[in-house]
Structure formats: C-alpha cells, structure tokens
Amino acid sequence: MIIHVLFGTESGNAELVASDIADALQDEHDVHVDDLTDAVDDIGSADLTLIVCSTHGEGDLPQSAVPFVDALHADRPDLTGLTFAILGLGDSSYPNYSKGSEHVEVLLRELGASRIGEYGRHDANGRSDPSDVGVEWARSVIETRALVNKHT
C-alpha cells in the first residue's frame, strides 16, 4: 500500500512524529513523507494519507500548513476518493487544544475526502511520547482500513 504521511508543523514536532511513523511502516508499505506546504499537488496520490498536524498560538494552523489550507480554499478541488486520517498534536492546558489539526480535517471533508479511523490526538501535557502515540495510531488506522476494504 502507498501511504503518504504529511505534516504541518511550527516547531518541528509534527515532522519528527511523521518521520517516525514512516520509519515504523516502511518495511511493510511504500511510505512517503512531506510537509503540507509541498503536498497540494500530490494530495490524493496515495492509497492512504496520514496527516500529523500541530496547533500554534490560539488554536491556529502551524506555519507549514497555512499554504496548504490556503491553496485548498482557493482551488476547491474535488477530493472525493481521498482517504485520510489525522493526528493532532497539542497541549490540553490551552483552551484550543489540537485545534490546528481540526481546521485541516474540516476542510478536507468539505472537499469530499473521507476520514478513516480514530481522530488521533497527542497531549503534550501528558507523559506519553508523541512518536509512540503516532505509530500506534497509524497502525490502528491501517488495520481499520484493511477491515473496511475486506467488507467492501
């Protein structure tokens, strides 16, 4: 299966998690990692798109996700057929915990994409390692996709 792991980051955490997810999956899948900034033209080219996105400021998009979201808003492509899952990174001690990823998720669904699996979240206020959470989440999404495909 071709998996595209995309990340939106401000400080580099989402990029690190995306890279660790790709490393964990690369023995079983054809995995590519890209910054959301560079992903507009390739969106939908994989069997599964995994998105790791942080939150910045007061629930805003991280800087590297802004051009992606702006381009999708401007072009309004039909993303029917795009299957994606999303992992939001944030800190629950802030009122807009993980809101950056929610902006991306809402827009993709507006454009016809289908989210699969659990909406993943990592809370920086806890003790869990974001990469461990990300790898476990990604494997769960892949299992869910396999079950859905088995029944269709």
Instruction: Summarize pLDDT for 52-80 with one digit per residue, the tens.
Output: 999 888 888 999 999 999 999 999 999 99
Domains contained in the chain, CATH given: 2-150 (3.40.50.360)
CB neighbour class for 125 (10 Å; exposed up to 12, middle 13-18, buried from 19): exposed
Give whole-number Cα distances, 101 to 7, 22, 28, 48, 56, in Å. Answer: 10, 19, 27, 17, 10
CA distance 82 to 115: 8
Which one has a higher pLDDT value, 71 or 95?
Answer: 71
- State residue 134's pLDDT score: 94
pLDDT band at 12 (very low <50, low <70, confident <90, very high): confident
- State residue 151's pLDDT score: 64
Q: What mean pLDDT is reported for the chain?
A: 90
Lowest mean per-residue pLDDT among 33-47, 63-77, 104-118: 33-47
Evaluate if residue 149 carries a pLDDT over 80: no
